[in-house]
Structure 1
Amino acid sequence: MEKFDKLTGVAAPLPFINIDTDMIIPKQFLKTIKRTGLGTALFHEMRTLDDGSENPDFVLNQPAYRNAQILVAGDNFGCGSSREHAPWALLDFGVRCVISTSFADIFYNNCFKNGILPIVVSEDDLEKLMDDARRGANATLTVDLEAQEIHGPDGGVITFDIDPFRKHCLLNGLDDIGLTMEKAPMIDGYEQKLGENRPWA
């Protein structure tokens, strides 16, 4: 998993509440177990018109936001079914951070397991960040995980809380497999000792 320490990127505004996982990645795209290639289907029903062409009104289709790495979204982001394809699609598109006032629990947990930082802020702070994100090409935020700060384009700073263990995992690029591999020397030592004491096993 890619490490997350400090991210500076364009922030796209999604001022909608209850953006569910079916909106993030519709069910017809869940046929794959690969984590790549899903970015083109991200927010498919909002990004495309009935004839399959791009919806020019959707924020991620607008030139200033096509390479957005940060989403500033309304309350209860990631609700709905517990599909891990949702963070996969975000990550494949290039999104590394989502900022909201609240997240659905399963989606929130899946983000950390895939190298995406979900940040919970107050309603007042979200309003400020939403205003920043509406600036188009000037909507650049810097998210500093180590310092737990979000720096706006005008120099304003918003702090956020995060569980220390989750922070450690993101800073070091540790998913569940990575955490297990950190214990590899202990596991190897146990296996060797077991072989010496129980050679028949």
Structure 2
Amino acid sequence: MDKFTTITGVAAPMPLVNIDTDMIIPKQFLKTIKRSGLGVNLFDEMRYTQDGKENPDFVLNKPAYRKSEILIAGDNFGCGSSREHAPWALLDFGIRSIISTSFADIFYSNCFKNGILPIVLKPEEVAVLMKDAEKGENARITVDLESQTVTSADGEVFHFEVDAFKKRCLLEGLDDIGLTMEKASAIDAYEKAAAVERPWV
């Protein structure tokens, strides 16, 4: 998992509330267990027309937002079913941080496990950042995990809370496998001792 430190760039505005996981990645794309390749179908039903062409009105299809790493979203982002494909699709597209007033609990946890930083801010703070995002290339937002701050285009600084363990995992790029591998020497020692004590196993 890639480390998360600081991101500065143009944020994509998605002021819709209750964006659920089926909107993020529709059910027909859940057949794969690979984490890569889902970005092309991110927000598929909003992003493409029925004949498969890009919808020019959808935010991520607009030139200013095609490479956005930050998403500013409405309330209750990631609600619905608990599919882990949702953060996979977001990450594969290039989204590394989502800022909202609230997230669905399971989606929120899945983000951290996949290298995405979900940030909860007050409604008035999200409103400022949403206006920044709507300016497109004329406004750049900075997300700093170490200092736990989001800085608006005009230099206004908003502080956010994050669990210390989740913060460490993102800063060090540790997913569940990475955390396990930190204990590799202790696991090896246990296995060797167990083999001596119980050779019949």
> Does TM, normalized by the shorter one, top 0.5?
yes
| Distance in 2 between residues matched to 1:181 and 1:135, nearest whole Å | 43
Q: Does 1:88 align with 2:99?
A: no
Cα deviations by residue, 1:78-110 (Å, 9 ceiling, x for unpaired): 000111110000000000000000000111111
Which runs of structure 2 are paired with 1:158-169 in the superposition (5 Å)? 158-169=158-169
Which runs of structure 2 are paired with 1:17-96 in the superposition (5 Å)? 17-96=17-96
| Distance in 1 between residues matched to 2:162 and 2:50, nearest whole Å | 41
Q: Following TM superposition, by how much is the alpha carbon of 1:7 offset from its aligned partner in structure 2, in angstroms?
A: 1.2
Cα deviations by residue, 1:150-197 (Å, 9 ceiling, x for unpaired): 112211111100000100111111111111111111111112222333
Match of 1:155 in 2: 155
Unmatched segments (≥5 aa) in structure 2: none
Identity of aligned residues (%): 69
Question: What is the identity, as a one-letter code, of the residue corresponding to 2:115?
Answer: G
Q: Over the residues paired in the alignment, what is the CA RMSD in angstroms? A: 1.0
| Distance in 2 between residues matched to 1:90 and 1:171, nearest whole Å | 19
Q: Does 1:107 align with 2:101?
A: no
Q: Does 1:181 align with 2:181?
A: yes
Q: Following TM superposition, by how much is the alpha carbon of 1:30 offset from its aligned partner in structure 2, in angstroms?
A: 1.0
Cα deviations by residue, 1:27-78 (Å, 9 ceiling, x for unpaired): 1111111111111100111111122211111110110001010000000000
| Runs of 4+ in structure 1 over 4 Å off | none
How many residues are paired up?
A: 201
Secondary structure of 1:177's match?
A: helix
Match of 2:133 in 1: 133
Secondary structure of 1:158's match?
A: strand
Q: Does 1:118 align with 2:118?
A: yes
| Distance in 2 between residues matched to 1:164 and 1:53, nearest whole Å | 43
Secondary structure of 1:67's match?
A: coil
Unmatched segments (≥5 aa) in structure 1: none
Question: What is the identity, as a one-letter code, of the residue corresponding to 1:145?
Answer: L
Question: What is the identity, as a one-letter code, of the residue corresponding to 1:77?
Answer: F
CA contact (8 A) 1:24 1:44 kept: yes
Cα deviations by residue, 1:113-133 (Å, 9 ceiling, x for unpaired): 100000000101110110111
Scaled by the length of structure 1, the TM-score of the pair is 0.97
Secondary structure of 2:142's match?
A: strand
Q: Following TM superposition, by how much is the alpha carbon of 1:141 offset from its aligned partner in structure 2, in angstroms?
A: 1.1
| Distance in 1 between residues matched to 2:72 and 2:101, nearest whole Å | 10
Question: What is the identity, as a one-letter code, of the residue corresponding to 2:113?
Answer: K
Scaled by the length of structure 2, the TM-score of the pair is 0.97
CA contact (8 A) 1:12 1:139 kept: no
Q: Following TM superposition, by how much is the alpha carbon of 1:20 offset from its aligned partner in structure 2, in angstroms?
A: 0.3
